[in-house]
């Protein structure tokens, strides 16, 4: 009986833990100064910002002049992104922040 009970409870615990991991993500949308103007700017941003801890996805848009970053807020902060952008010659300004 205990064996069957354990077999039923263990998957529930595993699914709950996996669901909690996927729920911890924030979206940060910023504009850059100087502005992005080409594919090389996008590539420079994507290839450097991906090294900030907790970054899950980066999307850039030259026409809209935005960089959207999906990240784990437990691993990085807005200041971490400011420093990372400064290292590659950009300053950032928040456009919007969603959960």
Residue-wise DSSP of 55-66: EEEEEEETTTTE
Strand ranges (E), 10-54:
26-33
Three-state SS for 99? coil
Mean pLDDT for back-to-back runs of 10 residues, the chain (99 residues): 68 68 80 92 94 95 94 94 96 73
Beta strand pairing call for 55-61 and 91-98: unpaired
Amino acid 47: pLDDT: 94
Question: Measured between alpha carbons, how far is 81 from 79 in angstroms, rounded to an integer?
Answer: 5
Amino acid 19: pLDDT: 59
Task: State the pTM of this model.
Answer: 0.72
């Amino acid at each position: 009986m205990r064996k069957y009970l354990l077999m039923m409870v263990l998957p529930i615990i595993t699914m709950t833990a996996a669901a909690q991991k996927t729920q911890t993500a924030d979206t940060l949308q910023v504009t850059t100064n100087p502005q992005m103007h080409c594919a090389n700017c996008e590539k420079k941003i994507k290839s450097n910002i991906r090294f900030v801890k907790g970054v899950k996805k980066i999307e850039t848009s030259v026409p809209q002049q935005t960089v959207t970053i999906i990240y784990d807020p437990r691993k990085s902060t807005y200041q971490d992104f400011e420093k990372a952008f400064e290292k590659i010659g950009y300053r950032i300004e928040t456009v919007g922040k969603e959960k």
